[in-house]
Amino acid sequence: MQNQAYVFLIFILNGLIIGILFDIFRILRKSFKTPDIITYIQDIIFWILSGVILLYSIFKFNNGELRLFIFLGIVLGIILYILIFSKIFIKISVISIDIIKKIIKTVIITPIKYILFVLKILIYKPIKLICLNLSKLFKKNIYFFKRKCKI
């Protein structure tokens, strides 16, 4: 009986872990715009990870035996997670991701854009002017050559 209570608690924890995993995928969808195919792939990854976690736990803690209390523990763990922790976890994670995105934008992306802009001014425009001048010179030489050779 004591072993079954221990296993029941383990599967409540499994339910909590599956709830966290589910929210991680929800947060990713909320924070980053993804195409439908990526959403489908994320769903498949979620179910594979959930299955692996549950199979591992069933074999590790209950010798591969399926019992009703295992499923009750999983459902109870998921419900507890959703009722108690989910909103807090999602809010903290979304805020953290937004802060990280802003830091990356200001520390990495903005300087790179500035450097590329400066390089464009320093390199691209002079090269463009040189190419235009060369093409004009080339056209003049061809025109001169045609007149001289009467082609």
Over the stretch 89-99, which tens digit does the pLDDT of each residue have?
A: 999 999 999 99
Give domain limits for the chain. 2-149
Q: Is the pLDDT of residue 143 over 60?
A: no
pTM over 0.75: no
Q: Which residues, 6 or more positions from 70, have their beta carbon under 8 angstroms from its beta carbon?
A: 7, 8, 11, 58, 62
Q: Residue 14: what pLDDT?
A: 97
Per-residue pLDDT, averaged over 42-63, amounts to 95
Reduce the secondary structure of the chain to three states and give it as a string: CHHHHHHHHHHHHHHHHHHHHHHHHHHHHHHCCCCHHHHHHHHHHHHHHHHHHHHHHHHHHHCCCCCHHHHHHHHHHHHHHHHHHHHHHHHHHHHHHHHHHHHHHHHHHHHHHHHHHHHHHHHHHHHHHHHHHHHHHHHHHHHHHHHHHCC
C-alpha 8/C-alpha 111 separation (Å) is 53
% of the chain residues with pLDDT over 90: 55
